[in-house]
Every structure is written in structure tokens, then in C-alpha cells.
Homo-oligomer: A and B are copies of this chain.
Amino acid sequence: MLTIDYANCLSDRVGSHGIDPAVLDPAGPGASAIAAHTRSLASTRGTGWERWRDLPFDPVRSDHVGQVRRVAQACAGKFENMVVLGIGGSALGNIALQSALNPPTYNLMDPPARPGPRVFVVDNVDPATFGAVLDLCEQRGGLKRTLFNVISKSGETAETAAQFMIVREMLSKALGATYGENIVAVTDPAKGTMRAICDKEKFATLPVPDGVGGRFSVLSPVGLFSAAMAGIDIGALLDGAAAMDQRCRTETLAANPAAMLAFLLVELGTNLGKPNHVLMPYANSLYLMADWYRQLWAESLGKRADVRGDTVFAGFTPIKALGATDQHSQIQLYREGPNDKVIGLMEVQEFSRDVPIPRGLGVKNLAYLEGSTLGKLLNAEKRATEFALVESLRPNFTITFPRVDAYHVGEFISLWQIATAYAGLLLGVDAYDQPAVELGKQATFGLMGRDGFESFQKEVAETLVPTDRRV
């Protein structure tokens, strides 16, 4: 079971930079706000944009897992490479699961050590990267042995659409009429541009369920399919998510991990001058989980809000860091720079393997390392950093993973998703929209010459008139 230790967020540890413990009092206003929000979340769960909370539970779970396993089984053994085409919420969860639950050398391994195809998640339209990945697939098995997993609810996301158009043409040239067998689309089950293409071209599809926004979709087929293809235990992932969801139903602040996490971060972020929220796992495998968290926390809460008639720019800046590596890069700033951060450390109690540090070098100044292990050193560094942060009055908390496995990763995902729902309520913002993303999309359409968006060409040109402010 994941635990959160938040003692270092309190004023008895970090002085005026921490929360007065009385604020967390069961009879205090924080606890009563959380109780009200817990009731509110209970009443909205499974409705509107909160249908993501149903994903780990039957009947939705069985339906999705059944569909994902059927398609994965049909693909089994046929492909050496799998290229996921998606961006934002259609990519970050896939990347996070792969890097958390498979070794960093996964793509370099041969079967049976590698239980599924190589997995490439191409979440950008950088031509050099996209070209390099396609070349590699041609060289390693060829296009015939490469599966493309297109993920787009509408099919109109420019980046994914462009990738899809390129891949469709390449496959159909190389493979002829059967090229559709190399595509699995995760898209809207009933409507939209991608749906229409899939129906016409008879691609295998999996659903992006209604009421599940991109950044809350990793536990749907969006994230489950590539995970299943790569041998990840999606059942254990959903078990962990379900267990965390159950823990987060209590109205008691001190017993509800997601409510506590949200309350601490909102309180530190809005009332104590700590709007920068670092997540710093002491485990390489969890580093890209922090990218998934970055989208969830930034895009859900970074909102212009109306608070009692005033316009407020709400939200917090999520930052990813890696322990112990970033001790040699960011800790100088975290300890002596502006005290504007909450640092979320993450530690792993038992690594999937450990590496002993041998005896026998015979150098006095390094003798203390002999007979220890890398895992012990990494955890000592985490504890030393926690100590150093407290010494300089920097609020921090620790999320402890007993092990990094599918179950605990599922718990982690659920923890942050539910914390985000709480934080939205505490801040008075809609955690499920992203209105400020639209203008850039429309301007891109305009610059690319899409019908109906021509006016943006002029508007962009007028706003960004060239000047001599250039060096």
C-alpha cells in the first residue's frame, strides 16, 4: 500500500513555511471542507466528466479488459514493433506505464526476455524523430511486422492526424489491401472523424469512453492496450487503482490520501507562497510518471477563475526531478533559492533487484561504500536530502512505494487523479476543461490554411510583426 508522510509540510518542522497543524484539526475548517467535497465527489462519481472513476470497477472494467485482451491476443506474435501515435493524454500514460513497469533496455532486448513488440510512443511531429522511428521499424522486421496504435478520440488532433496520414499511406503502399491489419485505433466508439475512417477502412478499434478526458484516460483502453501488448499486468494495475479509490471515499481528512495530498498542496500553494510542486522519485522507473503528473496537475488546475468577483490565475507549476541525479543539479536551488516549492519525494522500499557494491578496492575514503548496495545508497541519499530540505525550512513530503509494480503504480495513478478532483473543488476551478489550449489550435489551423480559420493568419502576423529586437 502506498503511504504519504507529510510531517515535513507542517510548521513544527519547517517553521512559517509550513502549515499550522491546527489547520488539519478534525474540528477545523480544512477537515470540514474536505468532508463536503468528499460528499460532492461521491454524488458526481460516474457522471459527467467524472466517469473516469468507474474505470477500475465492473462493469466498465471487465468490458474494457475483455476488449483489450481480445485485440492483444489477435495481435500476439504478429509484430516486432508497436508504434503508438498520440499526444498529451493519449501518450503520457502509455509512456509512464512502459517506463515504470518495463526495464529501460526493453526495446534493446530480444524475446523471450522482451515479452512483446518493441514499443515506441511518438508523441510529437518532429520529423527527425518520426523518420528515425519509421526507418528503424523498416530495418527491424519491416512494416509488415509493425503495428501502429493510433489514439485520438476525435481524429482531428492535428499532430496525430498528420502522423496517421503518413503511416496509412506507407502501409498501404507496402502491404496493399491488407494494410488495415497493422492498425489498431483507440477512438470514440460512436462518432467523429477517426470513427468514420475506422468504419470505412475496417480497422480494429478500442473505445475512448465517454466522460473520460485525455488526462484521466490512462486506465481506459487508451493506456491499457499498449501496456497489455508489452506484457504489463493490467489486472493488477486496475486492482491497485480500485484499492486507492476505496481508501479515498472517507470524509475523514487524516485517513484519505488523495484529500490530504490535495489539501496540503492547495494550502501551501495558495496561502504559503509555494505554487511550484516538484515530484522527485528516487527511482528511474518512476521519472516519466512525473510527466504524466505534470499534465494532470497543470492542465486541470491552471485556470483563470472568478473568485468573489475578482479574476484569479489559479494553478500550480508541476516540476519533475529525479533523485539522486538532480541532487547534483537542482538541490542547490531547492535549498537556497526562493522558498516557493513543495518537494514531493518518492522512495521505493524494495527494488526489483539490487546491486551489491563489492569489497576490495582498498581506498580509505571509499571504504564506507564496501559491502553496501546501490539500493541502500539511493535510499540513504533520499533520506539525507529530506533532512537537508528540512534544515533549510523547505516543505516536502514522501510517497513510499513498497515496490514498483503494476499494483502500486495503479494506486499512484488513482491517488493523483482523485487528488486533482479535490484540488479543483478547493480552488473553485473546473478540473476537466482546457479552454486556453484552443487559441493555439485555431491559430495553427489558420497558419496551415484550414478552411474557416483564415483570419488567424492576419491576426498572427499583426501580433508578431517582425522588429529589430533580435540579437
Contacts and interface: CB of A to CB of B under 8 A. Distances in A.
B315 A317 contact: no
Given A5-B469, A127-B374, A384-B444, 6 more contacts: A6-B469, A107-B108, A127-B353, A302-B337, A314-B337, A387-B440
Contacts of A260: 471
Given A377-B125, A387-B460, A435 B161 contact: no
A123 B375 contact: no
A56 interface: no
B377 A158 contact: yes
A451 interface: yes
Contact of A104 (B91, B125, B129, B197): B129
Given A437-B331, A447-B383, A448-B369, A123 B325 contact: yes
Given A104-B129, A128-B283, A373-B127, A368 B336 contact: no
Interface stretch (A37-45, A180-188, A250-258): A250-258
A317 B340 contact: yes
A366 B284 contact: no
B329 A294 contact: yes
A330 B302 CA distance: 9
Task: Give chain A's interface secondary structure class.
Answer: helix
Nearest to A3: B470
Nearest to A255: B471
B125 A275 contact: no
A328 B125 contact: no
A391 interface: yes
20 contacts: A3-B471, A5-B467, A5-B470, A6-B470, A91-B325, A103-B129, A103-B132, A104-B132, A105-B136, A128-B283, A130-B355, A130-B374, A159-B324, A165-B357, A298-B329, A317-B337, A368-B451, A380-B444, A384-B442, A384-B447
A443 interface: yes
Contacts of A390: 463-464
Contact of A166 (B5, B92, B355): B355
Interface in A286-326: 291, 294-295, 298-299, 301-304, 313-317, 319, 322, 324-325
A226 B257 CA distance: 45
